[in-house]
Structure 1
Amino acid sequence: MLADASEFDPAEPAWDENNYLSAALTDAGYQRGSTTDLENMRNREVEEVPHGDPVRETPSDESELLDPDTLVFTESPSEDVQGRFEEDFQAVFDRIEEETGKPVEFSKVDSYAASVEAMRSERAHIANFSTGTTAFAVNLGGAVPFGVGLTPEEEFGYRLFATTRADADDIQSVEDFARDDVKVGHSEPASNSGHQAPSALFDQYFDVTAEEDYEVNFSGGHGNTTRGIAAGDYDAGPICSTCFVDTVEAQSDLSFDDFKVVWASAPFPSGPVAYRYNLKPEIQEGIERAYLESDFSGTAYQERTGYNKFVPIDYRTVWKDIMIIQRYNGVEYERSALGS
């Protein structure tokens, strides 16, 4: 089933007939979706959120509003780009200060749970959340997701790559993940492409149920799953496509020709930027302007993340598929479901 790279058609990959070396997908830019995909998400009719609570409204009582002297920004492990550092955000922070008049402090956290807790406890006012964590942030942390990044090529988001090693001739479909001799690595419990989406979509499309048809081995991150497959610690696993690309490009001993993709999902939205719902309205508006009315081309932020601009999103419509996946998996928006 391993097809030549020249046979890869992004519009019709024909996964039931083909596997591809990951190089064929990345050369075609298949790790991200298009603005058409995003517009389809933004424009669909969704009367109410399909799981959990909607985004909280800004309080009408002024005594409940936050007006911090310094805005605290937190960045957690992300579905789209991992391992960002404070200096990568300086262009963004400068714009926020210009629009709000308030300096921005960077606060690094090392887990999904910590990022949500920081916003819930009002120790963080602005955050980048991972895709899968966003609904937890809305339900538990009072987050208001308002924008997602676009690349200069007008690409957005990421996909789930069902990945194995290039020489794994006996793994040609997600159905092969269910074999007793195949060790499958997942990322983390709250990760969308690393656990939640495959738990739902593998079941729906392939009748392969994670934790029933195969044991789930949590690797601790997409990079760990990627490196683990290459090293033989895992035989296969679902990986966030852009995280996969980041990991391979960062490791001199890895090549895209080392990996094979046996199936890929439709695009998911990348982790959004959000602020806390009870910030004063003028602060909320300033944060939105800083992101949505800025061009970050040529900055360290664009170089590190690939994003040169942000576009507005509505949680209710753009996160519909994520909420449906989590509802399918029986996810309750409780802190314990995020892990430690």
Structure 2
Amino acid sequence: MFAVRHIALAAAMVTAALTAHAMDPRFKDANGDLVADAPTDPKQWIDPATLVFAYTPVEDPAVYAKVWEGFVDHLAKTTGKKVQFFPVQSNAAQLEAMRAGRLHVAGFNTGSNPLAVNCAGFVPFTMMASKDNRFGYEMEIITFPGSGIDKIEDIKGKRLAFTSETSNSGYKAPSALLREQFKMEAGKDYTPVFSGKHDNSILGVANKDYPAAAIANSVKVRMEARGVVKPEQTQVIYKSQTFPTTGYGHVYNLKPELAEKVKQAFFSYNWEGTALAAEFNKAEPPQEKFMPITYKQHWQVVRDIDQAMSVSYACK
């Protein structure tokens, strides 16, 4: 038997310390949409011969290079540019690549979006959704049957696997939950360990290497659909409210005409019969198209969590 609850972050974290989320000084936000404006000086625009595209490193990059191949071809045809898929190994590497100008189009995971926006000049404009505009995923804390963990309080004195410190569901949301709702502090009430990726955490629990882990259930669903893990290998003891999923966008200083073509590529992509559809239709809700979003609206809940965690978006 497991407990499934929902995070009431807004109420639980009223007294949490807030940190100013200042955008890097090199960016401007004249219209107040919380993302960097394109430079007004055309000399500051970039128009690369080859567009570099990266998908968030939540799972095996080798698997997703093939999944994204059809879209990459469509992006190349729509923009008239060569497009290179960049198999990033970590959130930090992806962020640094865009900040340094080596990454032009990307999907950043939920938790990394605010840092990418404020530090790397990322401009998210879309995410995957069902045909009827349902979207998102939930953070789950999972264990394995027979672990002796039946509820959150049972994690006390044990190890809890996180993914990386930039991950929303893999670190920030569960850390805030444990601290604010269950009065459990990392290093004192439980031992945090970091697996690096959601699939590592899920496999670690399924193989009984970790007694518990905080993960994005969308990743688990796809892994189960591929037969990488079996549903009976894991057990859910906590399920959160719904969060926005990976946000896709471009770097702020991409030549405006090129940026528009990048947007056109996402919204004109025909999913039918593609590897992208085969992989992401497995989610619940199914991910069947690219839906327009705004960072200001759709990432509000994530920014609230970051404020509660005193997360700074300052670039290091």
2:135 to 140, 156, 171: 156
C-alpha offsets along residues 225-247 of structure 1, whole Å, 9 cap, x if unaligned?
A: 12222222221121110112233
Matches within 5 A, 1:1-340: 2=1, 15=5, 51-53=21-23, 54-78=34-58, 83=61, 84-151=63-130, 154-168=133-147, 170-178=148-156, 180=157, 182-251=158-227, 254-306=229-281, 307-334=287-314
TM-score of the superposed pair, with normalisation by structure 2: 0.83
Provide TM-score, normalisation by structure 1: 0.78
Distance 2:37 2:188 in 1: 40
Rounded to whole Å, the distance in 1 between the matches of 2:65 and 2:198 is 21
**SS state of the match for residue 156, structure 1?**
coil
After superposition, what is the alpha-carbon deviation per residue over 1:172-211, rounded to whole angstroms, capped at 9, x for unaligned? 2212212x2x221111111111111101122223222333
Name the count of aligned residue pairs: 288
* Unaligned ranges ≥5, structure 2: 7-18, 24-33, 282-286
In structure 2, C-alpha distance between the alignment counterparts of 1:91 and 1:255, rounded to whole Å = 29
Deviation at 1:256, TM superposition (A): 0.8
> Following TM superposition, by how much is the alpha carbon of 1:15 offset from its aligned partner in structure 2, in angstroms?
3.9
CA RMSD in angstroms comes to 2.3
Write out the 4+ residue segments of structure 1 that deviate beyond 6 Å after TM superposition.
none
> 1:76: how far off?
3.2
Secondary structure of residue in 1 paired with 2:243? coil
Does the 8 Å CA contact 2:160/2:210 hold for their aligned counterparts?
A: yes
Does the CA contact (< 8 Å) of 1:120 and 1:141 recur in 2? yes
**Match of 1:91, SS?**
helix
| Cα distance in 2 between the residues matched to 1:14 and 1:268 | 16
Greater mean deviation of Cα atoms: 144-153 or 267-276: 144-153
Q: Quick one: distance in 1 between partners of 2:237 and 2:142?
A: 6
- Cα separation, partners in 2 of 1:172 and 1:153, compared to 1, 3 Å: farther
Any conservation in 2 of the 1:51–1:324 contact (CA below 8 Å)? no
Structure 1 residue 265 displacement after superposition: 0.3
Q: Cα offset for 1:334?
A: 4.3
Q: Aligned partners of 2:236, 2:85: CA distance in 1, in Å?
A: 36
Which residue of the partner structure matches residue 44 of structure 1? none
DSSP-derived class of the 1:327 partner: helix
Structure 2: how far apart are the matches of 1:50 and 1:256?
41
SS in 2 for 1:266: strand
Alpha-carbon distance in 2 for matches of 1:239, 1:86 = 22
In 2, Cα distance between equivalents of 1:220 and 1:300:
25
Unaligned runs of 5+ in 1: 4-12, 17-48
Residue deviations 1:110-132 (CA, integer Å, cap 9, x gap): 11111111111111110111111
Does structure 2 conserve the Cα–Cα contact (< 8 Å) formed by 1:202 and 1:209? yes
One-letter identity of the residue aligned with 1:161: E
1:251 Cα deviation (Å)? 4.6
Seen in structure 2, the aligned counterparts of structure 1 residues 241 and 285 have a Cα distance that, compared at 3 Å, is same
Q: Which residue in the other structure is 1:38 paired with?
A: none
State the identity %: 33
